[in-house]
Amino acid sequence: MIRVEEIRSILASDNRESFEKLAEEAATLTRRHFGRAKSLFAPLYLANYCDNGCLYCGFSQDRPIDRMCLEPAEIDAEMESLSGTGIRHVLLLTGESRSMTPVGYIRDAVERAHRRFATVSLEIYPLEEPEYGEMIEAGADGVTLYQETYNRTRYAELHPYGRKADYEYRRQAPERMARAGMHRITLGVLLGLAPIAEDAAELFLHLESLQRQYPGIDLSASFPRLIPLPDNPIQGEPVSDIQLIKLICLARILFPTIGITLSTRERPLIRDKALHLGVTRISAASRTTVGGYASRDCHDGQFSVQDERSLTEVITMLKANGMDPVLTDWHSLPADGQ
């Protein structure tokens, strides 16, 4: 039973003993269900054009940044460079612009990625159900989509225009993915945009309802913290390290078998410790700029990377902590005949 009052009180409590117990339970469940396997992936930004004006985001249409969209030859070069590092699971990202990065463009990138990587995931604007089906046919099997916040009032303030202003369309997207047959679905909120206990409770309820309706899906949760832009009025509510770790533990205890992802926006200490407590998937050697792996580097990334360790360094860290680095964790199965 997920109750917001309970989550609020756990997050606010300064009882170290009960926190330690929470962590112990989360660590035990993680070991029981995932053993020591930790899967590794890397993001690849295809474009940073966006049709929305999210007040907190570095890619917002209103921000005067360099805009880029990789050409097919550049996509190949990026993928060549990234796969050369040993990464076998790629997460393809775009800004949320249907006009600059239409479905056909993304589909083509998925097909290119499928030729070089074992697993292809997407973090793009929400699609229609048949469009998710097209992505699966092209070789994608995972989608990450952040609701950003489940607080409708706050959502409306932060997303003033563009397709993203439609809360419900975004909220229903994971169901469209599931109906289309998407294998892995990752949900999350951007911690700090709204009171976190409420957002966490809503995220957990969303996960629970998807798990019940679509039991075969490999569900994951992701817990990015808002990194406020320096010159921006939206600074959000700071989320402490303790609160972040408590949320990861709570997610693990409530959902013993789901994946939990933590990105390189967190610093190495937090990432390394969270791996014991619930995190099962981490990005490594990430570049968050368009063209970041090959030559054409656009300097404006979506967020600044706090963990700049190479893939080899991350693998060494995992082994030193008694964990098993997993580079290949699934083989995308595109439509027959490809």
**Nearest alpha carbon to residue 275 among 22, 34, 19:** 34
Smallest separation, CB 204 to other proteins (Å): 15
Kindly list the distances between the CA atom of residue 82 and the CA atoms of 38, 93, 113, 143, 182, in Å, as whole numbers in the listed order.
Answer: 19, 14, 11, 20, 24
The interface region with other proteins, picked from 67-75, 132-140, 279-287, 324-332 by CB under 8 A, is 324-332
Question: Which of 20, 237, 297, 324 forms a contact with other proteins (CB under 8 A)?
Answer: 324
What separation, in Å, do the N-terminal and C-terminal C-alpha atoms of the chain show? 44
Q: Is 328 in the site for other proteins (CB under 8 A)?
A: yes
Q: Is 333 in the site for other proteins (CB under 8 A)?
A: yes
Taking a C-beta distance cutoff of 8 angstroms, is the pair 46, 270 a contact?
Answer: no
Helices (H), the chain: 4-12, 16-34, 72-83, 103-116, 129-138, 152-158, 167-171, 173-180, 196-213, 241-254, 268-277, 311-320
State which residue, 231 or 336, has the beta carbon closest to other proteins. 336
* Dist. CA 139–CA 3, nearest whole Å: 38
State which residue, 142 or 162, has the beta carbon closest to other proteins. 142
Interface residues for other proteins in 127-186 (CB under 8 A)?
A: 183
Taking a C-beta distance cutoff of 8 angstroms, is the pair 305, 282 a contact?
Answer: no
Question: Which of 2, 77, 118, 253 forms a contact with other proteins (CB under 8 A)?
Answer: 118
Q: Is 310 in the site for other proteins (CB under 8 A)?
A: no
Q: Is 32 in the site for other proteins (CB under 8 A)?
A: yes
* Residue 223 CB-density burial (10 A; 0-12 exposed, 13-18 middle, 19+ buried): buried
Question: Which of 248, 258, 274, 298 forms a contact with other proteins (CB under 8 A)?
Answer: 258
Binding mask 184-213 for other proteins (x = CB under 8 A): ---------------------------x--
Q: Is 232 in the site for other proteins (CB under 8 A)?
A: no
Smallest separation, CB 328 to other proteins (Å): 5
Taking a C-beta distance cutoff of 8 angstroms, is the pair 199, 150 a contact?
Answer: yes
* Dist. CA 37–CA 280, nearest whole Å: 7
Q: Is 36 in the site for other proteins (CB under 8 A)?
A: yes
State which residue, 211 or 306, has the beta carbon closest to other proteins. 211
Contact footprint for other proteins (CB under 8 A): 31-37, 83, 86, 88, 116-118, 183, 211, 215-219, 256-258, 312, 315, 319, 322-331, 333, 336
